A and B are shown apart, each in its own frame.
Chain A
Amino acid sequence: EAGVAQSPRYKIIEKRQSVAFWCNPISGHATLYWYQQILGQGPKLLIQFQNNGVVDDSQLPKDRFSAERLKGVDSTLKIQPAKLEDSAVYLCASASTDTQYFGPGTRLTVL
């Protein structure tokens, strides 16, 4: 069974630029999550989708972050404009029942 796929794996941008991350969940998983993991910390949930609807985006900084999940499969997370403090690993996870499975993450460096 293929795991959660994410791209790109690494991204370096200047502050105030925009960036987008892509996630392809495990086939058949209705629930998709985006997490932000700052160095030295555990992952923090940004947004949760159930199919193509948003379940929880309470911790998403909506002035600069946006996410969508078209057709209830792939998802993209965008940051516009990026700030220095957005440097982190962005993890995507998917779940069918009570267990989340994580992708390899995208490491973002904002200079």
Chain B
Amino acid sequence: AQSVTQPDIHITVSEGASLELRCNYSYGATPYLFWYVQSPGQGLQLLLKYFSGDTLVQGIKGFEAEFKRSQSSFNLRKPSVHWSDAAEYFCAVEGNFGNEKLTFGTGTRLTIIP
């Protein structure tokens, strides 16, 4: 069964600074990979996804993620964060052999300081 690890429970960055959120997965092949964001009291919004092809994926709100097969990683990046980026970020993995579950990490809470 697949699993996801988000090693950082909480990250604090200054507004305008760059951001990288880490995500490592465990799966026997190349899975489908997702990043979702959850603002307080809200559901999850899809930021970006990787199915195949170009390993650098562009998403909404200026986010990007890079799939690295050798490191089993799918880290999320943003060159300059805005105060509105403060939220909880979830990495998720789904097997691609048909009808497999979407498995989420435990999330990383992002705090932005002025």
Mark A residues whose CB is within 8 Å of B.
4, 6, 33, 40-45, 48, 55-56, 91, 93, 98-105, 107
Contact call B44/A99, Cβ cutoff below 8 A: no
Instruction: A44 to B99: give the CA distance in the assembly, Å.
Output: 16
**In-complex Cβ contact of B43 among A44, A56, A102 (8 A):** A102
Beta-carbon contacts under 8 Å, B2-60 to A: 4, 32, 34, 36, 41-46, 49, 51
Taking A41-B107, A44-B104 as given, write out 4 further A-B residue pairs in contact, using a Cβ cutoff of 8 Å, ordered by the A residue number: A6-B43, A45-B102, A99-B49, A100-B102
- A104 contact set on B, CB distance < 8 A: 41-43
Q: Which residues of B contact A (CB under 8 A)?
A: 4, 32, 34, 36, 41-46, 49, 51, 90, 92, 94, 99, 101-102, 104-107
B90 to chain A, nearest CB (A): 5
In-complex Cβ contact of A55 among B34, B46, B99 (8 A): B99
Asked whether, in the complex, the Cβ of A102 is within 8 Å of the Cβ of B32, the reply is no
Asked if B46 and A101 sit within 8 Å, CB to CB, the answer is yes
Give the Cβ gap from A22 to chain B, nearest Cβ, in Å. 15
CA distance A56 to B104 in the complex (A): 17
- 18 inter-chain pairs at a CB distance below 8 angstroms, sorted by A residue, are A4-B43, A40-B106, A40-B107, A42-B92, A42-B106, A43-B44, A55-B99, A56-B99, A56-B101, A91-B43, A98-B32, A98-B51, A99-B34, A101-B46, A102-B36, A104-B41, A105-B42, A107-B41
Chain A residue numbers with a CB within 8 Å of B41 are: 104, 107
- Asked, given contacts A45-B102, A55-B99, whether A103 binds B107 with beta carbons under 8 Å apart, the answer is no
**Interface centre among A43, A56, A103, A104, by most B CB within 10 Å?**
A43
CA of A47 to CA of B36, assembled, Å: 20
Which of B44, B49, B106, B107 meets A102, CB within 8 Å? Answer: B44
A105 & B106 in contact (Cβ 8 Å cutoff)? no
